[in-house]
Amino acid sequence: MDTDSSNWLPLSAKHSVASTAEAAEIVREAGTQRTAVYPLGSGGHMRFGVRPRREGIGLDFGRWSEVLAYPAGDLTITVSAGTSLGRLDEILAEKRQWLPTAADYPPETTVGGWLSTAFPT
């Protein structure tokens, strides 16, 4: 059994995904094997909560970074989980927009990680 770079998760394997289809296939297979799946981003919030004891696979969303929808006039944007807050800030700045609640987080924080911790600001 390996652990991730922070030695926090008991990983038997780590998979990097770049799409919903890739993630779904890995999760589907893990389900048939009754294997735990641990989502991974930049690792900034890795130690929130109780450390898992059950060995499982890591699902790294870092490659899955894309804008899915951005009707700027509506002041809404949909991005994938691996999009960093820094990249999101760059995208929004092109239209003179910004996400004020993300200002206190490091730019490498992923949107998925930020949302999963309930962005406590």
Tokens of 3: 């652990």
**Boundaries of every domain in the chain:** 2-60, 67-116
- Answer whether residue 6 shows pLDDT above 60: no
Q: pLDDT above 70 covers what percent of the chain?
A: 88
Q: How far apart are alpha carbons 69 and 92 in whole angstroms?
A: 12
pLDDT for residue 4 is more than 80: no
pTM value is 0.76
Q: What span, in angstroms and rounded, lies between the C-alpha atoms of 36 and 57? A: 6
